[in-house]
Amino acid sequence: MKALELLRRQVSRQDGRIVEALAQRQELVKRIVAIKIENGLDLRDRAREGAVLASVIRLGREHGLDAGYLTRLFHPIIDHALDIQRELLLREDGGGKAARLAVRVAYQGTEGAYSHLAARKHFAPVLQRVSFSGLNTFPEVTDAVEAGEADYGVLPIENTTAGSINEVYDLLRRANVSIVGEAVQEVDHCLLAIEDVPLSSLKRVYSHPQALAQCSDFLATLTGCRVESYTDTAMAVEKVRDEGDVVQAAIASEAAADHFGLRVLKRGIANQPENFTRFVVVAREPRTVDLRTPCKTSLVLSTDHREGALARCLDLLATHHLNLTKLESRPLPRTPWEYLFYIDVEGNAAAPGTSEALDKLRDETRFLKVLGSYPALAGLSAPQKAGARKTPKSAT
């Protein structure tokens, strides 16, 4: 046992060195980004990004480390550089004033909900200045932003398993808010209860309807157990804790279990292991994004009910070299068999080419609303997974 304790102390010392090295890397990244901003250099260097990861993998192999392990480890480290860039640009654009102000962020749910985790992830560079408010519904989030009660709102917009969240798309069309950012949160559903009980003893399981749908295969194995929808995953955990019934369980994140003091009965219960939710960050006013930052612009439009109307819109985007990353149709309210189209393109609305395309698009559409132009995250199909992205977002 003495040998075990000695080894554990050595591991702890190495952990400390890793943290110190990460802190030193962060300071170097800040200095590099500051130089780029001062000299008007592009903030993203794709060749450098690939070279950094390749160098890490090559060095790791020399020390007997697996390439997949290093890729999973270094993607978040490299991604953090983009967060630093975004924060420094905010200071630059706001003359340093924005960096000193407190930030109020609203989300749907309660602490430990996936929306809360995504919000913390997005605002990680300024986390010490952020206060989070959990609200009951998506409209309450946009209402808080519109009323100035929150500076930002965080809303889930699509999931790799369940698809688009139509309620949020419709809300973005109606609300007087603008998308100013996006975040992707891995969804790792767990079965939680107040005690370590056999699965066969459970009589009720609560969670958000989408979470229940995403875990339907596992839930089908719980004989004699009733599945009930609840407002939010973390709120379901809170309900199970407050009622103290050992035959009740909730499906939520492990973070929710830690926050509310529940036990994890089973991890990884989703039908598909690759499960991610994309969130958008909204504010009352649109943000102007530095032209050197890779951007995405989100639109909603409707066309006349005539042959080739949508095709002409898409051709117009292609003519201006705007790559389409999403096209979603939704029924037009109170107009049967006509549709709204939600579109994401790669481009900054402030850039001349994109701006010109949007002007021409207005002439081709019956209705057009720019939902927002914002810094884009790369590789959203499967973020933070080994081999999922050929190029990380930013290594400076």
pLDDT digits (tens, 9 = 90+) for 307-363: 888 999 999 999 999 999 999 998 887 777 788 999 999 999 999 999 999 999 999
If asked whether residues 386 and 349 sit together in one domain, one would say no
CATH code for the domain of 236: 3.40.190.10
Residue 166 contacts residue 330 (beta carbons within 8 Å):
yes
Q: One-letter amino acid identity for 247? A: V
Phi then psi for residue 206, to 5 deg, are: -115, 145
More confident site: 293 or 348 = 348
- Domain assignment of residue 133, yes or no: yes
Neighbours of 161 (CB within 10 A): 17
Q: Encoding tokens for residue 381?
A: 């199909």
CA distance 144 to 135: 9
- Distances in Å between the Cα of 298 and the Cα atoms of 107, 258, 276, 280, 319 are 20, 36, 20, 10, 18
Interval 226-234 mean pLDDT: 94
CA distance 369 to 384: 32
Long-range contacts of 164-171 (CB under 8 A, 24+ apart): 164/328, 164/342, 165/210, 166/330, 167/138, 168/138, 168/280, 169/300, 169/328, 169/330, 169/342, 170/330, 171/138, 171/139, 171/142
* Domain housing 126: 23-182+279-288+376-396
pLDDT at 77: 82
pLDDT band at 43 (very low <50, low <70, confident <90, very high): low
If asked whether residues 235 and 173 sit together in one domain, one would say no
If asked whether residues 141 and 284 sit together in one domain, one would say yes
- Give the DSSP H/E element, type plus range, for residue 84: helix 67-93
pTM: 0.74
The per-residue b/e assignment along 301-333, b for 16 or more CB within 10 angstroms, e otherwise, is bbbeeeeeebeebeebbeebebeeebebebebe
Interval 257-284 mean pLDDT: 93
pLDDT at 163: 85
- Domain assignment of residue 49, yes or no: yes
Report pLDDT digits (tens) over 207-220.
999 899 999 999 99
Neighbours of 248 (CB within 10 A): 23
If asked whether residues 36 and 59 sit together in one domain, one would say yes
- Domain assignment of residue 165, yes or no: yes
CATH code for the domain of 334: 3.30.70.260
The C-alpha torsion from 134 through 138 and 141 to 146, rounded to 10°, is: -170
- CA-nearest of 37, 35, 38, 73 to 56 is 73
pLDDT at 237: 96
If asked whether residues 90 and 223 sit together in one domain, one would say no
If asked whether residues 158 and 213 sit together in one domain, one would say no
- CA-nearest of 119, 35, 120, 43 to 85 is 43
More confident site: 78 or 276 = 276
- Domain assignment of residue 4, yes or no: no
- Domain assignment of residue 113, yes or no: yes
pLDDT at 146: 95
If asked whether residues 103 and 176 sit together in one domain, one would say yes
- CA-nearest of 357, 369, 358 to 301 is 369
CA distance 363 to 378: 31
If asked whether residues 129 and 64 sit together in one domain, one would say yes
Owner of token pair 């890793």: 18
If asked whether residues 237 and 254 sit together in one domain, one would say yes
- Domain assignment of residue 2, yes or no: no
Residue 320 contacts residue 353 (beta carbons within 8 Å):
yes
pLDDT band at 374 (very low <50, low <70, confident <90, very high): very high
Instruction: Give catalytic residue positions.
Output: 277, 279
- Domain assignment of residue 12, yes or no: no
CA distance 19 to 11: 13
If asked whether residues 239 and 324 sit together in one domain, one would say no
Report pLDDT digits (tens) over 243-260.
999 999 999 999 999 999
Report pLDDT digits (tens) over 174-211.
999 999 999 999 999 999 999 999 999 999 999 999 89
Give yes or no for residue 98 having a pLDDT over 80: no
Number of domains in the chain: 3
If asked whether residues 310 and 283 sit together in one domain, one would say no
Residue 303 contacts residue 365 (beta carbons within 8 Å):
yes
CA distance 165 to 210: 9
More confident site: 95 or 364 = 364
Q: What letter would DSSP give residue 40?
A: T
Residue 343 contacts residue 298 (beta carbons within 8 Å):
yes
Residue 108 contacts residue 141 (beta carbons within 8 Å):
yes
- Distances in Å between the Cα of 191 and the Cα atoms of 199, 207, 243, 248, 265 are 9, 10, 17, 10, 5
CA distance 218 to 222: 7
SS3 292: coil
If asked whether residues 171 and 35 sit together in one domain, one would say yes
- Domain assignment of residue 11, yes or no: no
Report pLDDT digits (tens) over 127-154.
888 999 999 999 999 999 999 999 999 9
- CA-nearest of 125, 65, 151, 121 to 279 is 121
Owner of token pair 């309660």: 110
